[in-house]
A and B are shown apart, each in its own frame.
Chain A
């Protein structure tokens, strides 16, 4: 199987400039085009182990990141995201091209992939049991996800939980984990060997860096997982680790609020969320220290053994 690393940096850059790099992430193939050397370098660094497809395999999404033409490229250079000629986002400063790429990849899935219930949630797995971490920004979801992954949990996704409509299992779409502001240093200290992309300052979400997905998670990207818990995390400075069960009906509504296509799927969305709640135990989880959080998640696993 051809990977980004095996293809080599010059060939990756050439494909990006030419007819596109067909990158496989979980169940999706995205045709990516960009003349930017910075994006080529970032993909080489963050996606080394990911499969690359030939032109005979049709892509699900078509992503073009380009700089404007003419004089505009000289003053405050910007980057535009085009999806098949459409522009779903405002342009961003050129320095933010890599975070923009990651947001564009999330957008492609969350606005099209309606063969899954797509929940805005991190999801990790260990011993065959997946824990879903839905949460609004600022709750520490990605930090918790990165910390668990650095301690041996398999990364399925830090943003997009794909629940199959037919059997309720979760398809992984492992990609780099997005870290914001203070959590960048927290994860650097927590996992000194983790590979982080250079932080990009002044984005809409503050300073952003991404943590590379572990090679094992990428290698197992086609292996679905069975959901066991839904944990709504909330980080608070100095708070003790505490798990409080959430009643099923409330958990269902909160899950629906965090899903991108719950109402679009109609009855299938409801049935899928209801099955997920039925299959899992649901908790509110507040914590102040990652060490405490690890112990709590290990205890959850131990109860299942």
Chain B
């Protein structure tokens, strides 16, 4: 395995921030800036009680990132209320996903987390109603291309992103956690049935702990783009640590739930790379159970190389000579997992030639 970058080592062992010199801090802050983890460093230093002991210029930079994050978290909470109000008449619970859920549920994974979209999960049968209610309340699709509309509506697991006309915020309305065209499609009804209401707000829900971890793993390990790979892996690390400590039976339930939902492979990758890169303390029994999702040896060796590369901070100081090649391979893999080969070749052809031509002509 390649040597771990500074940022990864610090996320593994936040206490190590105490002993960094000025040069190391500069590199760390630059890597963290590119990975959208600057505020996370500030909050980790605070949580471990040594923020006040850091050098003044470092505290100032961490403070800038933290201020931007505080505003972001406030905006997310406001936006969730707006969506909640828009969808109140549907009688559906509002199930929040990913970063939105971490913020709304006040999970440690929300600390420092920046993201661009609000993600929600609704039943497929309610998509039309949800979309029209959102449109009545100011959200509109910004994907006007007929091909894009078809791509999302027929093949994907979400509507084309809707953007609010005045606030410019974007909402992704999901009806499943994997595309319609993917080989594995866990039944979203099972996820919705297990979702848990937030304290004091019965109509606001988040996925149950195991499902939340599995969704995070599915999202990270079937993606085609890894600009936020390290941040997303750190989400997994924090979710695993938090639920492991607070949720009775979590570690035994996790591999069982993965098997139920046919998500053994993403869970295997999640535990493997969280342990390997971030030192996540996974109990031996859970690890052994998760080995059911292990890929064949040759494939695993390739995946190790690909993910060791993709889960580095996206900063020039971490880039290796083969990384662009690996990035290309993961992009193809991400799309490969999304749809069958013939459909994929048609999609990539359309994106490469027809969409590009249309945009250059504009």
Contact = CB atoms under 8 A, between A and B. Distances in A.
B354 interface: no
Contacts, number: 46
Interface residues of B, number: 22
B171 to A, nearest CB: 20
A265 B33 contact: no
B23 A114 contact: no
B30 A57 contact: no
A62 B27 CA distance: 10
A279 interface: no
B34 A86 contact: yes
B64 interface: yes
A59 B26 CA distance: 7
A60 B61 contact: yes
A114 B60 CA distance: 9
Interface stretch (B66-74, B244-252, B279-287): B66-74
Nearest to B59: A115
Interface in B282-329: 314-316
B34 A56 contact: no
A232 to B, nearest CB: 26
Interface in A263-281: 263-266
A264 B67 contact: yes
Interface string A100-119: 00000000000011110000
Contacts of A167: none
B348 interface: no
A56 B64 contact: no
Interface of B is mostly: helix
B61 A57 contact: no
Contact of B71 (A58, A60, A115, A263): A263
A58 B67 CA distance: 21
B108 interface: no
Given A114-B67, A264-B68, A265-B67, A58 B25 contact: yes
B57 interface: yes
Interface in B72-102: 74
Contact of A113 (B22, B23, B64): B64
Given A84-B33, A114-B63, A266-B74, A58 B26 contact: yes
A85 B315 contact: yes
Contacts of A113: 64
Contact of B23 (A55, A62, A264): A55
B58 interface: yes
Nearest to A64: B316
Nearest to A266: B71
B22 A58 contact: yes
Interface residues of A, number: 19
Given A59-B26, A115-B60, A85 B67 contact: no
Contacts of B25: 58
A263 B22 CA distance: 32
A62 B61 CA distance: 13
A260 to B, nearest CB: 12
A291 B34 CA distance: 49
B132 to A, nearest CB: 30
A184 to B, nearest CB: 35
A266 B22 contact: no
B57 A60 contact: yes
A288 B34 CA distance: 47
A85 B29 CA distance: 13
A56 B26 CA distance: 10
Interface in A111-135: 112-115
A86 B34 CA distance: 8
A263 B314 CA distance: 29
Nearest to B72: A264
Nearest to A55: B23
Contacts of B315: 84-85
A269 to B, nearest CB: 9
A85 B314 contact: yes
A114 B61 CA distance: 9
Nearest to A57: B22
B30 to A, nearest CB: 5
6 contacts: A55-B23, A58-B58, A263-B71, A264-B68, A266-B71, A266-B74
Given A113-B64, A114-B64, A264-B71, 13 more contacts: A55-B23, A56-B23, A57-B22, A60-B57, A60-B61, A84-B30, A84-B315, A85-B34, A85-B314, A112-B64, A263-B71, A266-B70, A266-B74
Q: Across the A-B interface, give the 6 residue pairs with the lowest CB-CB distance, nearest first.
A: A58-B26, A114-B67, A58-B22, A85-B316, A114-B64, A264-B71
